[in-house]
Chain A
Amino acid sequence: MKCRVCREPAVIDVRRQNANYCRDHFLRMCRDQVAKAISEFDMLQPGERVLVAVSGGKDSLACWHLLRELGYEADGFVIGLGIGDYSDESTQYARDFAEKRGLTLHYCNLREEHGFDVPTAAKATRRVPCSACGLSKRHLFDAAARDHGYDVVATGHNLDDEAAVLFGNVLRWQTDYLGRQLPVLPGEHGFPRKVKPLVRLGERETAAYCVLTGIDYIVEECPMAEGNKHLGYKAALNEIELESPGSKHDFYFGFLKRASARFTSEIESQHLELSACTRCGAPTPEDVCAFCKLAERSSGHEPVTLRARR
C-alpha cells in the first residue's frame, strides 16, 4: 500500500475514499476533514470559546486535540458518572491528556454534586442506562458552558455514531429525533450551541488518529453499553460498509442534503415555551427540568454497585 499523496508506504487504508495514507498525510486528512465540517456547517467562529465534552475515549480526545491543532480555544469538561472502575479509568485518561498538554479540564462528579450516579439512576427510574447517562451529560455540559462562559459545546460524535443513530431513528420513523439530528444545533432559549466537528471522520479514523498522535484513551467499552442497540446498528452498518465502502457516508450526508429539512420544519412548528427550572434554573418546558426529576428519583435510591470488571 502506498500513500495517495506522497507514494511512500501507507499505514492505513480509508476505503470509502479509495485511498491509503502514510502517517503524516493521514493526520493532515483528519485535520482537513474537521476543518471542512466546521466550515461547511458553520460550526465555529474565530475567537469563540469551545467546551469539549470529554469522556476519556478516542473520539472526544481526538476532537479536543484536533480543535486545538486547528487553533481553537478549546477546554475540556469531564463527568464522573459513577460507572464503577470504568468511570474512574476513563476520567483519568482525560486528566492525563489535559495535564500532558497543559490544557484546562473542568470536572463534575455526579454523586458528589448531585447525589446519584448512572447505575443507580438507571435502576431507580427503570431507564436504559444510556438514556439516564445521556440526559445527565447533556444537562451538565449545557450548565458547565453557561457557568463558565463558553459559546459552544463540541462533542466527539463521528460519522459512525451519526449513521447508527440515523439508522435507529429511520427504523422506527422517529421523526422528531430525525428533525434534531444535525451536525449543529443552534444556541437558543438559554442552551449553548452544540457542534459535532468529527462528523466527516469514521471511528476507525478517530482511533487511528489517537494511535498515530500518541493519545492514550480508554479502549474498554462502557460496561453499561454492552449489548445496546446502538452498538448493534454500528455492527450492521459495518457489514454493509465492508461490501460497499462509502455507504455510511452516503447514508448520513444524503440524509442531511436531501431529507433532513423535511423533519426540521416539523420540529420548528412545535414551538415549546421554555422557562427556568424552579430548582436549577435550566431552560425547560415544565416547572422542573428532566435532570432535576432524575436526580430527585435517584438520589433517594440505595446506591447500585457494579460487578467487578472482567
Chain B
Amino acid sequence: MKVVLRNPRRELEVSGPISVIALLNRLELNRESVLVIRGDELIPGDAMLDDAQTIEIRPVISGGAA
C-alpha cells in the first residue's frame, strides 16, 4: 500500500495486510501523535490495511510556544 507521511511530505510503500497499530509500530510512530486517514475517514487502530489502499499518517503535534 502507499503510505503518505507529512512534515515533510513523503511516500512509502508498505506490504499488507497489516493492522494500523502494527504499521505504526513498524514505522516507530507513537499512536498518540498521529491520525491514520483514508480519504476523509479516520481508520481505527484495529483495522486491517491491504495493498490496494492509500493512507495518510498525519502528525497531530503542532505549535510554537511563546
Chain A interface (Cβ < 8 Å from any Cβ of B): 1, 9-13, 15, 20, 57-59, 129-131, 133-135, 137-138, 160-161, 164-165, 168, 202-204, 206-208, 211-212, 214, 219-222, 224-225, 228-231, 234-235, 238-239, 241-242, 310
Query: In the complex, what residue of chain A is closest to B10 when comparing beta carbons?
Result: A310
Give CA–CA (A292, B45) in the complex, Å. 50
Query: In the complex, what residue of chain A is closest to B60 when comparing beta carbons?
Result: A207
- Contact pick for A58, options B42, B60, B66, CB 8 Å: B60
Give CA–CA (A161, B62) in the complex, Å. 9
- Contact pick for B65, options A168, A202, A208, A219, CB 8 Å: A168
- Contact pick for A133, options B33, B61, B66, CB 8 Å: B66
User: What does DSSP make chain B's interface, helix, strand, loop or mixed?
Assistant: loop
Contact A164 B6 (CB under 8 A): no
Q: Tell me the smallest distance from the CB of B47 to a CB of chain A, in Å.
A: 8
Give CA–CA (A219, B34) in the complex, Å. 12
Contact B32 A204 (CB under 8 A): yes
Residue numbers in B under 8 Å from A164 (CB-CB): 65
Contact B64 A207 (CB under 8 A): no
Residue numbers in A under 8 Å from B8 (CB-CB): 310
Residue numbers in B under 8 Å from A207 (CB-CB): 35, 58, 60
Contact A211 B42 (CB under 8 A): yes
Contact B30 A230 (CB under 8 A): no
Contact A220 B65 (CB under 8 A): no
Q: Tell me the smallest distance from the CB of A297 to a CB of chain B, in Å.
A: 17
How many cross-chain pairs have Cβ atoms below 8 Å apart between A and B?
Answer: 102
Number of residues from B at the complex interface, CB < 8 A:
26
Contact A235 B33 (CB under 8 A): yes
Residue numbers in A under 8 Å from B37 (CB-CB): 211
Residues 5 to 39 of chain B near chain A (Cβ within 8 Å): 6-8, 30-35, 37
- Contact pick for B66, options A57, A138, A242, CB 8 Å: A138
Query: In the complex, what residue of chain B is closest to A134 when comparing beta carbons?
Result: B66
Given contacts A138-B66, A224-B64, contact A238 B44 (CB under 8 A): no
Residue numbers in B under 8 Å from A234 (CB-CB): 61, 63
Contact B42 A228 (CB under 8 A): no
Give CA–CA (A13, B60) in the complex, Å. 15
Which of B31, B34, B40, B61 has the most chain A CB atoms inside 10 A of its CB? B61
Contact A10 B44 (CB under 8 A): yes
Q: List 18 A–B pairs whose Cβ atoms lie within 8 Å, in order of A's numbering.
A: A9-B44, A15-B32, A130-B66, A203-B60, A203-B61, A204-B60, A207-B58, A211-B41, A219-B6, A219-B58, A221-B62, A222-B62, A224-B64, A228-B65, A230-B65, A235-B33, A242-B31, A310-B8
Give CA–CA (A204, B45) in the complex, Å. 14
Residue numbers in B under 8 Å from A206 (CB-CB): 60
Q: What are the 4 closest A-B residue pairs judged by CB atoms, nearest first?
A: A134-B66, A130-B64, A230-B65, A225-B64
